[in-house]
Structure 1
Amino acid sequence: MGDTDTTAAALLAGDFATLPDLIRAHARERGAKPAIHFGEQSITYAELDRTMNRIAFALQRDGVQPGAAVAILGPSSLDYALVFLGALRAGCVAAPLAPSATPDQLAAMVADCAAPILFHDAAHDIAVPVRKVALDALDDWLGDGTPVPAPVGPQDPFNIIYSSGTTGTPKGIVQPHAMRWVHIARAPAGFGEAVTMVATPLYSNTTLVSFLPTLGWGGTVVLLARFEARDYLVQAEKHRGSITMLVPVQYQRIMADPEFDRFDLSSFTLKTCTSAPFSAALKADVLARWPGLLVEYYGMTEGGGTTILVCNAHPDKLHTVGKPLEGQDIRLIDDEGHEVPQGEVGEVVGRSAAMMTGYHGRAEATDAATWYDPAGNRFIRHGDIGRFDDEGFLTLLDRKKDLIISGGFNVYPSDLEAVLAGHPDVADCSVVGVPSEQWGETPVGFYVGSGQPAEILDWCNAKLGKTQRLADLHRLEELPRNAIGKVLKRALRDRYA
């Protein structure tokens, strides 16, 4: 707990502050200002601060110690957000879990983070040997006492984010308060007056990098229970949204809404995107039709390096993910761990002030995700393959694990997907590598659209090099994606097998 006489401005100008202390300062200085809107519900900063205290007191009453994980399971809701923030006030570690995981996976996550308590919605009352509190009965559980101050330092854990599981069993990514402070401190001052539209789940790091800075600066969050393009547009116009973080598939669905152009979105000053490949054509469409800056960020939940592309300023670089942010060290390495010369292809590694502590309880996985330069500086392996151009802009070619080695040649699925997406009857697509007796691996495509697979396959292969050609093509009703829009390529491989 911080100095109750410190102003928000002083905290934000310092070297380190915690989010609970910032919210307390905003409650003193602008207590009547809305902090979070959720449907017909709304909570001011004064109410938010009082509720965080009540949650922190109840956690301490129930014996949940500072530093313990507090697991939260369910879709986004106001109560979900309150428990997340209240756990931080108690000095605990927020552990938001993805409802899309199986009951066995969820139980394993609760055990992995050793959470003594689980908050859950009605649809996810999983069997775990810990205390459970239903989110819709939160008022019955709350206490009215004053919590004991629970100071935290920069390296103390803030939250544990479980990886999306696109490559297998989710790993707990431990992010310290210092990492979240960097996210808050580097946000533009305009976040203090922002109305931030939040349409991705609260268990996703993609969400938290806009949700947390908005509250840290004293802005207002409009939290949506789920994403639906028309509802997003209605809510954005109603609340005069000014900032948003969306993933590419959400931009795609919003821009495809036949009524998009009738909505007044002139209040927007900043739209950001991250988490999945964002096509140059879609960026160009957003630039042309949606007011305000469009900024793409590229980085990892684990931290490491971050690049930024201000699309409005660089319309000729929309095929890239931009340049490293100031203070970010991003390099490319080969399979032996040596840096590659400028202009050559390599695996992306990054270093910054915003880096995970490690994977919870998985020292070997943490080591595998780490690279050290000759001077001994620690970098995070991003797992992506890329190339820097002469101006320092980074083009991503693919995930390293998705690289297809066919007959000894490197085949990048993103190159094939770009061709496949160019067919007029293809609305969405993905390419994966599958085992081949003849070539070792061979590319297979999946698409959503109206055309016939055989015709589209011939059309694509006529435009691809001999080593790139698709061995097969399948039409699907929709591609499997996780909650933040990443295609689950593992599921596609399993489906093909």
Structure 2
Amino acid sequence: MDPVYLSVADIVAADFIPLPTILASHAARRGPAIALADEQRQVSWAELGAMAERIAAGLQAAGVGLHEPVALAATNSVMAALAFLGILRAGSPAALLTSSASGETVMAMLADSGARVLLLDAAMADALAHLPFPAGVTRVAVDDSHAGLALSQWLPLSQWLPPVGTRAAPVTIAPADPFNIIYSSGTTGQPKGIVQSHKMRHEYARRTLAGGYNDDTTVIASTPLYSNTTLVSFFPALAGGGKVVLMAKFDAQRFLALSQAERVTHAMLVPVQYRRIMEQPDFGSYDLSSYRLKSSTSAPFPAALKADVLARWPGGLLEAYGMTEGGASALLLAHEFPDKLHTVGRVAPGHEMKIIDENGQELPRGATGEIVGRSPTMMTGYHGQDDKTREAEWHDADGRRFIRHGDIGRFDEDGFLILMDRSKDLIISGGFNIFPTDLEAVLAQNPAVREVAVIGIPSDKWGETPFAVVVLADPAGASQGILEHANAQLGKTQRISGIAVIDQLPRSPIGKVLKRELRDRFGGNPITHAFQPEEHNNA
């Protein structure tokens, strides 16, 4: 029977098509065209389709049932991507373990997932080698390396796979079936497994494909595959029949070289990556004219940095505000609204966002409060943690389910969302609410400051007081005058009590500043203060 070839228009128009069905169509249609590449190898669409079938057949032969999670822990590579796609072809959700986390944390994620098969690479095996491994879990090396382990502990993929040409048994995938489990970054506590459905992924692909992904698309993936930040461009690129270039580790110079060599059209980057790229002295020497659109998400994107990207990097710039759990998204087409760079844009089509107060009551436009949202891309829930799922939900007067974003914000008069801060990062000093982002924006204007994070630390007099942690633009420079300059521009209730200079801000693997670590480090250490809170806070 001849395959049914699916076009981008077919996918966008469909209410639901499982991703494995789409990929099988592209594999038959595009054949020798390159689908995946890393810095060591590349595979065609035909090879992608064949390997996904073999991996899925291997999982079925191992007794993995429909909807049973299969764990994946590996650095970005062609083989890691193929493993992911093979898991999906088997009708299993991919439990994406955070390979940059400690071995103990990875093992806790594995246990939480309930997976009986773990696909991993040599680097991950080394990180786990000293830990007791749960009985009944098969480890398969996607890179065929033994990594010093006995073969009884580790099966090379080439030995585990069924013969070339083997096809997996057909499976029926329904819209609500689990697609993946993504473990939260843990910026505010223990990571939780976020379950996302096939319908959610299809809806996101539909929206993205309508924005210009097709056979001629080349995406560069420089953040890890276990992150939703990566998947929001990785899967639409493949769903559109394009090509994905995978970087094992981000390096600004290498990113620029690959962008030029591969004629990259789309990239999803976090703000710290943009900063490092734009700071390259030879940035202007690279030919980036192939770029159609660059995107950013996952962390605050300073307006000045957006303006720099718009001025010097060809193609459009899209900032997407949202969360892995779903909720609602806001989109800022920065090249169309250069006067709104201080915002994260308007609510995405088909999404709904509200602002509520501390009592869960909806607030009018213009008021500041907690952001909640609903959309077709909401998570199913936290894996095995119904109580945490309920905590993340808010229901309106009609009983409709929204997801709490954990952020504080407000809408301006044109309907653009202005983020104020994470609710957990809000500083309450002397009864006043202080938003760290307001203070960070003032500090960042100082040319001596490269990066800054403001946290709340304990104060006997005020309860909490603002404290700044900065990275200097010149590592050999001095911090004198930075606070005085900032406090001269801030209101009395906002004034910063002290400063600490560090070499770099602690960040998650996708670039979020880990303020929890800064509070742990500086919260009980008043001797780092430049001056006493009583002199400058709430005076």
Give the TM-score taking structure 2 as reference length: 0.90
The aligned counterpart of 2:222 is: 199
> Does residue 258 of structure 2 align to residue 235 of structure 1?
yes
For 1:135, the aligned partner's letter is V
The aligned counterpart of 1:114 is: 114
C-alpha contact (below 8 Å) 1:343/1:388 kept by paired residues: yes
> Does residue 3 of structure 2 align to residue 5 of structure 1?
yes
For 1:441, the aligned partner's letter is E
C-alpha contact (below 8 Å) 1:4/1:25 kept by paired residues: no
SS at match of 2:328: coil
- Stretch moving more, 35-44 or 4-13: 4-13
The aligned counterpart of 1:473 is: 499
> Does residue 141 of structure 2 align to residue 134 of structure 1?
yes
C-alpha contact (below 8 Å) 2:91/2:173 kept by paired residues: yes
The count of corresponding residues between Structure 1 and Structure 2 is: 495
SS at match of 1:396: strand
Distance (whole Å) between structure 2 residues aligned to residue 454 and residue 264 of structure 1: 40
C-alpha contact (below 8 Å) 1:179/1:355 kept by paired residues: yes
> Does residue 141 of structure 2 align to residue 143 of structure 1?
no
Distance (whole Å) between structure 2 residues aligned to residue 11 and residue 452 of structure 1: 56
1:326 Cα shift?
A: 1.1
C-alpha contact (below 8 Å) 2:209/2:240 kept by paired residues: no
Distance (whole Å) between structure 1 residues aligned to residue 450 and residue 358 of structure 2: 35
Q: Which digits, 9 at most, give the CA deviation of each residue in 1:289-318, with x for residues without a partner? A: 111111111011000111111111111100
Distance (whole Å) between structure 1 residues aligned to residue 13 and residue 404 of structure 2: 32
The aligned counterpart of 1:400 is: 423
> Does residue 251 of structure 2 align to residue 249 of structure 1?
no
The aligned counterpart of 1:165 is: 186
Q: Which digits, 9 at most, give the CA deviation of each residue in 1:182-221, with x for residues without a partner? A: 1111113531121111111100000000000110110111
Q: Which digits, 9 at most, give the CA deviation of each residue in 1:235-282, with x for residues without a partner? A: 000010111111100111111100000111011111111110001101
C-alpha contact (below 8 Å) 2:410/2:418 kept by paired residues: yes
C-alpha contact (below 8 Å) 2:4/2:25 kept by paired residues: yes
The aligned counterpart of 2:97 is: 97
Distance (whole Å) between structure 2 residues aligned to residue 12 and residue 429 of structure 1: 42
C-alpha contact (below 8 Å) 2:327/2:405 kept by paired residues: yes
Distance (whole Å) between structure 2 residues aligned to residue 452 and residue 468 of structure 1: 23
> Does residue 81 of structure 2 align to residue 81 of structure 1?
yes
1:12 Cα shift?
A: 4.6
Q: How does 1:48-67 map to 2 (within 5 A)?
A: 48-67=48-67
> Does residue 483 of structure 2 align to residue 457 of structure 1?
yes
For 1:393, the aligned partner's letter is F
Give the TM-score taking structure 1 as reference length: 0.97
1:140 Cα shift?
A: 2.5
C-alpha contact (below 8 Å) 1:36/1:44 kept by paired residues: yes
SS at match of 1:183: helix
Q: How does 1:2-401 map to 2 (within 5 A)?
A: 5-9=3-7, 10-125=10-125, 126=128, 127=131, 128-129=133-134, 130-137=137-144, 138-144=157-163, 145-189=166-210, 190-192=212-214, 193-401=216-424
Distance (whole Å) between structure 1 residues aligned to residue 104 and residue 286 of structure 2: 43
> Does residue 444 of structure 2 align to residue 421 of structure 1?
yes
For 1:143, the aligned partner's letter is P
C-alpha contact (below 8 Å) 2:429/2:465 kept by paired residues: yes
C-alpha contact (below 8 Å) 1:56/1:86 kept by paired residues: yes
1:43 Cα shift?
A: 0.7
* Structure 2 unmatched runs, 5+: 145-156, 525-539
For 2:197, the aligned partner's letter is P
SS at match of 1:80: helix
1:454 Cα shift?
A: 4.2
Q: Alpha carbon RMSD of aligned pairs, Å?
A: 1.3
Larger radius of gyration: 2
Distance (whole Å) between structure 2 residues aligned to residue 272 and residue 291 of structure 1: 13
Distance (whole Å) between structure 2 residues aligned to residue 452 and residue 444 of structure 1: 18
* Structure 1 unmatched runs, 5+: none
C-alpha contact (below 8 Å) 1:430/1:447 kept by paired residues: yes
For 2:142, the aligned partner's letter is L
Distance (whole Å) between structure 1 residues aligned to residue 82 and residue 465 of structure 2: 48
C-alpha contact (below 8 Å) 1:60/1:90 kept by paired residues: yes
When residues 260 and 149 of structure 1 are mapped into structure 2, their CA distance, relative to the original with a 3 A threshold, is: same
Distance (whole Å) between structure 2 residues aligned to residue 104 and residue 469 of structure 1: 41
1:135 Cα shift?
A: 2.2
1:288 Cα shift?
A: 0.6
Identity %: 52
Q: Which digits, 9 at most, give the CA deviation of each residue in 1:73-97, with x for residues without a partner? A: 1211111111111000001110111
For 1:131, the aligned partner's letter is T
For 1:351, the aligned partner's letter is R
The aligned counterpart of 2:530 is: none
C-alpha contact (below 8 Å) 1:198/1:207 kept by paired residues: yes
For 2:360, the aligned partner's letter is G
Distance (whole Å) between structure 2 residues aligned to residue 430 and residue 405 of structure 1: 16
SS at match of 1:338: coil
SS at match of 1:340: coil
Distance (whole Å) between structure 2 residues aligned to residue 67 and residue 374 of structure 1: 34
The aligned counterpart of 2:456 is: 433
1:406 Cα shift?
A: 0.5
SS at match of 2:287: coil
SS at match of 1:379: strand
C-alpha contact (below 8 Å) 1:158/1:177 kept by paired residues: yes
C-alpha contact (below 8 Å) 2:12/2:207 kept by paired residues: no
